């Protein structure tokens, strides 16, 4: 874990650290950023927003058919019903996994990602091998994540962009009939909502 507390020896700041500090000084001098707002954003993304927001959306859709309809029709509105909305004002689209269709999400250009529901993207999502390979060989990528789908399952790959972000609505795992919405949300993994995981039966 990186840590901030001072040591008896000084480690010189790295080039990138100096550049970020320079940006911070220049931009706050001009009143274009507020250092307190910066700290708040860091804290929010590091600790508060994570895949749990998305998991709550998924669990609610599993339990409430009317909500699921709204989610699949107008995901941006349905997700903001739960208090989650995009910092960039982008639109959300939710794609549903079924017996015959599996969805998987990528951003081939950079790493557009639904931050308000999933937090920040994992390293592999940002990496070129995933971005390039998932389009050409989604089944191979799924195998690498330990997921094997039936031969006849159709795999749909969704390419995110600056205006549109996708979230996968995974299939509700078998054997979860008696669980509450909250318990269900605990079962939903981040990767299942990107489409690189399927939720195992309980």
Residue ranges in contact with other proteins by CB under 8 A = 2, 4, 6-10, 12-14, 16-27, 30, 32-34, 37-39, 41-42, 45-46, 51, 87-90, 109-112, 119-130, 133, 141, 144-146, 161-163, 186-191, 197
- Pick between residue 8 and residue 66 the one whose CB is nearest to other proteins: 8
Q: Nearest Cα to 85, choosing from 75, 73, 71?
A: 75
Min dist. Cβ of residue 137 to other proteins (A): 12
- Pick between residue 27 and residue 72 the one whose CB is nearest to other proteins: 27
Q: What share of the chain is helix, strand, coil (3-state, %, to 5)?
A: 45, 10, 40
63 counts as catalytic: no
Min dist. Cβ of residue 66 to other proteins (A): 27
Q: What is the DSSP string of 62-94?
A: HH-HHHHHHHHH-HHHHHHHTT---TT-PEEEE
Min dist. Cβ of residue 182 to other proteins (A): 13
10 Å Cβ neighbour count for 14? 9
112 counts as catalytic: yes
Q: Which of 14, 80, 111, 185 is catalytic?
A: 111
- Pick between residue 32 and residue 201 the one whose CB is nearest to other proteins: 32
CA 16: distance to chain centroid? 26
Q: For residue 31, count CB atoms less than 10 angstroms from its CB and return exposed for 0-12, middle for 13-18, buried for 19 or more.
A: exposed
Annotated active-site positions, please? 107, 110-112
């Amino acid at each position: 874990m990186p840590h901030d507390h001072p040591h008896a020896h000084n480690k010189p700041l790295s080039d990138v650290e100096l550049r970020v500090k320079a940006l911070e000084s220049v931009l706050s001098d001009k009143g274009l950023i507020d250092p307190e707002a910066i700290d708040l954003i860091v804290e929010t993304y590091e600790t508060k927003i994570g895949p749990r927001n998305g998991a709550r959306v998924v669990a609610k859709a599993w339990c409430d058919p009317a909500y699921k309809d709204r989610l699949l029709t107008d995901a941006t509105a349905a997700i903001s019903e739960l208090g989650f909305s995009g910092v960039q004002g982008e639109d959300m689209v939710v794609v549903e996994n079924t017996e015959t269709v599996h969805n998987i999400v990528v951003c081939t250009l950079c790493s557009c990602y639904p931050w308000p529901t999933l937090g920040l993207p994992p390293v592999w999502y940002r990496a070129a091998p995933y971005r390039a390979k998932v389009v050409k060989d989604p089944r191979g990528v799924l195998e690498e994540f330990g997921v094997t789908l039936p031969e006849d399952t159709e795999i749909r790959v969704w390419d995110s962009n600056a205006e549109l972000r996708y979230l996968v609505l995974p299939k509700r795992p078998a054997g979860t009939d008696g669980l509450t919405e909250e318990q269900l949300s605990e079962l939903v993994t981040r990767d299942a909502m990107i489409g690189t995981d399927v939720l195992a039966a309980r």
